[in-house]
Structure 1
Amino acid sequence: MAKVVHLQKTFDKIDYSAQKLSDREFQDCIFKNCDFSNSILSGNEFTDCTFDTCNLSMVKLDKTKLNEVHFIGCKLMGVDFSNINAFILSMSFKNCMLHFANFSRLKLKKTEFEECSIKEANFSETDLKGSAFHRCDLERTVFERSNLESVDFRTAYNFNIDPESNLMKKARFSSSGLEGLLIRHQLLID
């Protein structure tokens, strides 16, 4: 079956919830106010695309390519990114809700997370070198055996990161965020 190719299209207020969309390629497309909740987007390709104020909660992305994809104001609850096609992977997130998202074992170097709520997400064994979490809530998010070298956590909050189980050379923290690095040791900081 030949792939359906969409070039420079805008998809606005379309309800794709609980639908299966496969064998499609989207280049330089914009998705605005679309509902992809519980959809299966497996095997598709998204290049230079923007998802603006979309609901992608519980979407299935197995073997999906995400290259230069920007999520702005999106709800991405329970999304398992760990099974995407990671060959060429580049994403950014701004004002997104990423509760229970799974990014484990991905190479997410220089990924920008800005003003996101990333609660109970999983970044185990993830390479985040050079990434940034600007004003992000990382409550109960897991960083285990991850590469956090040169990651900017200066304005992130509610994180609990064990420096002994992650690579953290040149990671950046504010002095007010140091408590999130010491929780494991049960120190009392006033």
Structure 2
Amino acid sequence: MIAHQTLTAAQLEPYETYSECTIAATSLPGKVSDVTLDNCTLTGIWSQSEWLDCTFQNLNLANQDWNQAVLYRCHFQGCNLLGTNFSNGVWKTVRLTDCRADYANWSGAQLTACAAQTTSLREAYFRDVTFKRGFVATQCDLDQASFWESPLAGVDLAASTFEQLEVTPEAKYLRGLVLNAFQAATVLSLFGVRLK
């Protein structure tokens, strides 16, 4: 374990754990693999960076720019992702657990087999997102999250909560979306359907 150091992303070694370190983005898009970052501070712009098999624990990434970042088989655990910009990125088998991701932005991203558990995604943007092999949200707060113009086949929100959800009220976008009965009433109201 490496602790209390100041490093650049290029200095991160695979199969190492970094604790309470300060890690700066490099000027060129960087590639990082097989590291665990625990309670570290990430500085700079992380757009177009590439992360493979990484674990992010207790990081504060609020309002950072991760536009066009590529993440494969990564896990965010207990992270603050408030307002983080993940737009136009590529995520494959990425998990969010116990995170705060209110106002985070995944617009234009491609998410493959991703999941969120016990995570707050209030007013998060999933606009024009391509979901492949599903997206499962379990015990998440999705109130006022936006899935506008995102085809939702394989997206499972049934074990999460929301009072309002923004979706495109057309069959081609909603086909394959999994909701519970209470949530279905909310979505049906977008079509002018009233349930008694």
The two structures have a TM-score, normalised by structure 2, of 0.81
C-alpha distance 35-145 of structure 1, shift in aligned 2 (>3 A): same
Aligned to 1:120: 123
Kept in 2: contact 1:45–1:65 (CA 8 A): yes
Where in structure 1 do 4 or more consecutive aligned residues deviate above 4 Å? 185-190
Aligned residue among 54, 59, 67 for 1:54: 59
C-alpha distance 167-62 of structure 1, shift in aligned 2 (>3 A): closer
Q: Does 1:29 align with 2:44?
A: no
Aligned residue among 151, 156, 176 for 1:152: 156
Q: Does 1:95 align with 2:102?
A: no
SS at match of 2:161: coil
Percent same amino acid among aligned pairs?
Answer: 25
Question: How far, CA to CA, are the matches of 1:6 and 1:131 in structure 2?
Answer: 31
Q: How does 1:63-82 map to 2 (within 5 A)?
A: 63-82=68-87
C-alpha distance 172-10 of structure 1, shift in aligned 2 (>3 A): same
More strand by share: 2
Amino acid at match of 1:146: S
Question: How far, CA to CA, are the matches of 2:171 and 2:86 in structure 1?
Answer: 22
Aligned residue among 162, 165, 175 for 1:169: 175
SS at match of 1:155: strand
Question: How far, CA to CA, are the matches of 1:156 and 1:147 in structure 2?
Answer: 19
In terms of mean alpha carbon deviation, does 113-122 or 64-73 score higher?
64-73
C-alpha distance 28-64 of structure 1, shift in aligned 2 (>3 A): same
Question: How far, CA to CA, are the matches of 1:169 and 1:46 in structure 2?
Answer: 32
Structure 2: gaps (5+ residues): 1-9
Amino acid at match of 2:55: T
